[in-house]
Amino acid sequence: MKMRNVFLLGCTLALTTLSAMAQAESKPVPYRYGMPMDIQKVIAMTEPDTRECKVIKAEIKFLDNAGEVQHVSYKKLSEACLFQN
């Protein structure tokens, strides 16, 4: 009986790990105007490094109020625009 419980616990942990890895590797959902974000905590914000002032695709990963990781991409002006007239 104990061996069965250990096996079931191991399978549960493996599935949980695979699920978390699948969420971490998921492609971002493109932001659309009016899309509710429901951000509880920001995990990461990334954008490509560029010296040109231009529109770029940035990404945000965050936890929503249900505790699930969300991954959203959006367009914005690059940081280089802050330093150009």
pLDDT in tens, 47-68: 999 999 999 999 999 999 999 9
Tell me which amino acid residue 76 is. K
pLDDT tens-digit readout, 13-37: 555 554 555 555 689 999 999 999 8
The topology (CATH level 3) of 2-83 is Spermidine Synthase; Chain: A, domain 2 (2.30.140)
What is the C-alpha separation between 14 and 81, in angstroms, rounded?
A: 46
Q: Which residues pair with 77 in a beta bridge?
A: 55
Q: Domain segments of the chain: what residues?
A: 2-83
Determine if the pTM surpasses 0.85.
no
DSSP code string of 36-72: ---EEEEEEEE----SS--EEEEEEEEEETTS-EEEE
Beta-carbon neighbour count of residue 30 at 10 Å? 11
- Selected residue with higher pLDDT from 8 and 66: 66
User: What value does the mean pLDDT take over residues 7-15?
Assistant: 56
